[in-house]
Amino acid sequence: MPHDIAPVAFAVAGRVHEVGGVTMGTTWSVKLVADGEASLPPLERDIQRCLDGVDAQMSTWKVDSDLSRFNRAPAGSWNEMPADCFGVLAFALRVAEQSGGAYDPTAGALVDAWGFGPPRRHADAGFALPAPSQLAEARACTGWQRIEMDPRGRRALQPGGVRVDLSAVAKGFAVDKVAQLLSAGGVSNHLVEVGGELRGTGVRPDGLPWWVALEAPLPHRGGGAVAIDTMVALHGLSVATSGDYRRGFTHDGQHFCHTIDPRTGRPITHGLASVSVVHRDCMAADAQSTALTVMGLGEGLAHARRHRLAALFVQRTAGGFEEHLSDALAELL
């Protein structure tokens, strides 16, 4: 939780180095404190291998990933999973239950139906909005309650037709995984970023924490002022942001964002531009930011209050953007 942060540190020897690459259809970067003679290429290769391993397990775009194999498995089959994939799915199902299905990792069929998944893309020629019958079919394949887990055998039951999509949690998990890799290797002071999700550990050489600005939505679709940057110190903390501006498409003058409410089967339309969540674990911040975005401002603030989530909500209004802080975030800042 936000108050469970690393103890205060002092200035450390060395300078800030940066390495980076690509993964999961996006980019990654790591800032780390080391002396001027540090050999970075081996470390960069280790980080890339770590990220490639997460992608090989949890990608819905790779037909040979462990998750893709589960999604193709016959109805009624129990499927063994690698430890990381099983753990992330189990965590995602807990968030789904906690959020009342606002976040649901089994919504892959709905993601595909709206043109945000591998089978068909909203940018493809001839793309049409899903017909009511298509949405009904996709919703019939959705439901976190349908997945059964066997922790002892590290297996998950494919009930038939369920397409799990871990996109809203895998990047956060990858951030945590890289941070653990660095800490285990003696790199105690670092800032890890994957696709905009961040986790900071330790401090910079001057002894200050890793200060970052919470991601602000762009003034598109009719304009409006960009939200004022809110700075947070990632000293043993992570931050993840979900927003309606990251991906989407316009059809017949109507905008459809990539954030789909599994409870309705349709993209959200309540005007919540973004939600940023600060949490000890980036995987949790990633999943919770998605859940709160789906809920909308009123339901989301109430949920954040019940579960002590540190969250920044940015709402679109006719006059521009409005910021709303959960109680836990206000206390943290």
Q: DSSP assignment, residue 116?
A: B
Where is pLDDT greater, at 126 or 202?
A: 202
pLDDT of the residue at 12: 77
Q: How confident is the prediction for the chain on average, in pLDDT?
A: 90
pLDDT digits (tens, 9 = 90+) for 84-132: 999 999 999 999 999 999 999 999 999 999 988 887 677 666 678 999 9
Q: Measured between alpha carbons, how far is residue 99 from residues 195, 247, 300, 307 in Å?
A: 24, 23, 10, 10
Task: Name the E strands within 206-309.
Answer: 210-213, 231-234, 237-243, 248-251, 254-257, 260-261, 266-267, 272-279
For domain 65-167, the question of CATH label 1.10.3980.10 is answered with: yes
Give the whole-angstrom CA distance, residue 216 versus residue 273: 9
What count of residues does the chain have? 333
Give the whole-angstrom CA distance, residue 265 versus residue 275: 20
Q: Identity (one letter) of the amino acid at 45?
A: R
pLDDT digits (tens, 9 = 90+) for 209-228: 999 988 767 655 444 334 45
Domain boundaries, the chain: 65-167
Residues 20/251, Cβ–Cβ less than 8 Å? no
**Is 140's pLDDT higher than 50?**
yes
**Is 3's pLDDT higher than 50?**
no
At 57, list the tokens.
């397990």
Q: Measured between alpha carbons, how far is residue 241 from residues 133, 178, 247 in Å?
A: 33, 19, 13
